[in-house]
């Protein structure tokens, strides 16, 4: 099985050629073009002169855009943290569920992927808007409470004020957490499921309670899984476009929305390209940090 590619160069080359060509034509080439654009400037409506200027990058890290980068990182970070807090117990529960239930629970986690993101986001709008299901439910409770208050002779509660749940940062984070939770749960589950159960039993056997076992044994050993879950959640959340666009308000635009505007409405491709590459470099840095951390933490072997 351990046959080296060196012994079958022709076969290896044949197998590699098609995917390699695909990657070059549809991934590397467009990236290089966009990268080149980032060093150019507009000439007229459609012409771009690649002059080697760093002007676009200078603009990209100007305070106005830097702020949006920071805000995007903050929103993505908050999303990741919430996903971790929510996802860890879920992953733990699935790990310890009966074998038959496990399959179904994992299916439930993956089910949202089968629905288009746009449709899911519109569904969220229907839930969150002023006349949405949340406010309808609250209003029903409010009225019920009011009737109850009247019944026991308290003064009425007054008119129901619907909560502003949509078109603000809250809605964006909620939407991002909703979309990205499976990305967190799956790697966490993979890490926890690999854990040698006898390690947990050993901890209990030595007198530790469940909480200590969780904090001293489970979490440290699941650290590589936590790191990959964090990364795999943070990166797409950082570049999120649709969710802030549809659920956010005027102050909740993220960097991807700015990039989109440069390419479309502002028709400033060179600047949009520069912003894209700054975002990409940030992502690389995040991956590099994760790789360094992963090297430091010991392998979670039994």
Partner 1 sequence: MSQAKPIITFENVTKRFGKLAAVDDVSLTVNEGEFFALLGPSGCGKTTLLRMLAGFEVPTEGRILIDGQDVSNTPPNKRPINMVFQSYAVFPHMTVADNVAYGLVVDKVAKAERDRRVEEALSLVQLDGLGGRKPDQLSGGQRQRVALARALVKRPRVLLLDEPLSALDAKLRAQMRTELCTLQEKVGITFIMVTHDQDEALALASRCAVMNKGVLQQVASPNDLYEFPSSRFVADFIGQVNLFEGVLAVDEQDHAVIRAPDLPVDLFLDHGVTGARGATLWAAIRPEKIELHKKTGETPPNLGDAPAGTNAVAGVIRHEAYLGGSSTYEVEIAGGRRIKVQRSNLTRWDQEDFALGETVWLCWHACSPAVLLS
Q: Which residues bind partner 1 (CB under 8 A)?
A: 196, 198-199, 201-209, 212, 216-217, 220-221, 297-302
Least distance to partner 1, CB of residue 222, Å = 10
Find residue 47's DSSP bridge partners. Answer: 43
Least distance to partner 1, CB of residue 207, Å = 4
Least distance to partner 1, CB of residue 12, Å = 34
| DSSP string computed for 228-261 | HHHHHHHHHHHT--HHHHHH--TT---HHHHHHH
- Cβ proximity to partner 1: between 163 and 217 the closer is 217
Q: For residues 120 and 177, give the distance between their C-alpha atoms in angstroms, rounded to a whole number.
A: 13
Instruction: Fill in the DSSP letter of residue 47.
Output: E
Q: Vertex 90, ends 285 and 204: CA angle to 5°?
A: 100
Least distance to partner 1, CB of residue 48, Å = 53
251, with CB counted inside 10 A (0-12, 13-18, 19+), is exposed
- Cβ proximity to partner 1: between 79 and 228 the closer is 228
Q: Assess contact for 60 and 275: CB atoms under 8 A.
A: yes
Least distance to partner 1, CB of residue 205, Å = 5
Least distance to partner 1, CB of residue 219, Å = 10
Q: Assess contact for 209 and 261: CB atoms under 8 A.
A: no
- Cβ proximity to partner 1: between 39 and 88 the closer is 88
Q: How many CB atoms lie within 10 A of CB 288?
A: 10
For the chain, first and last CA: distance in Å?
A: 27
- Cβ proximity to partner 1: between 153 and 209 the closer is 209
- Cβ proximity to partner 1: between 143 and 212 the closer is 212
Find residue 48's DSSP bridge partners. Answer: 42
- Cβ proximity to partner 1: between 195 and 255 the closer is 195
């Amino acid at each position: 099985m351990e046959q080296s590619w060196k012994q079958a160069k022709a076969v290896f080359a044949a197998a590699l050629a098609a995917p390699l060509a695909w990657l070059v034509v549809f991934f590397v080439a467009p990236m290089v073009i966009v990268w080149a654009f980032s060093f150019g400037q507009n000439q007229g409506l459609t012409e771009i002169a690649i002059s080697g200027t760093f002007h676009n990058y200078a603009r990209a890290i100007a305070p106005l855009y830097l702020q949006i980068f920071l805000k995007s990182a903050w929103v993505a970070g908050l999303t990741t943290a919430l996903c971790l807090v929510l996802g860890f117990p879920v992953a733990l529960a699935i790990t310890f569920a009966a074998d038959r239930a496990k399959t179904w629970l994992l299916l439930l986690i993956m089910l949202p992927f089968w629905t288009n993101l746009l449709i899911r986001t519109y569904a969220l709008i229907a839930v969150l808007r002023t006349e949405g299901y949340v406010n309808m439910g609250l209003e029903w409770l409010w009225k019920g409470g009011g009737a109850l208050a009247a019944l026991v002779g308290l003064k009425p509660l007054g008119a129901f004020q619907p909560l502003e749940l949509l078109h603000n940062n809250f809605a964006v984070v909620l939407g991002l957490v909703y979309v990205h939770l499976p990305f967190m749960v799956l790697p966490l589950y993979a890490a926890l499921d690999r854990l040698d159960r006898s390690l947990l039993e050993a901890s209990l056997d030595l007198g530790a309670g469940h909480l200590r076992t969780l904090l001293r044994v489970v979490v440290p050993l699941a650290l590589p899984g936590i790191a990959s879950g964090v990364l795999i959640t943070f990166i797409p959340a950082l570049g999120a476009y649709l969710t802030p666009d549809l659920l956010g308000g005027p102050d909740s635009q993220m960097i991807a929305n700015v990039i989109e505007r440069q390419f479309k409405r502002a028709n400033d491709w060179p600047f949009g390209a520069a912003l894209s590459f700054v975002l990409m470099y940030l992502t690389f840095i995040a991956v590099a940090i994760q790789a360094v951390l992963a090297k430091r933490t010991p392998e979670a072997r039994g």
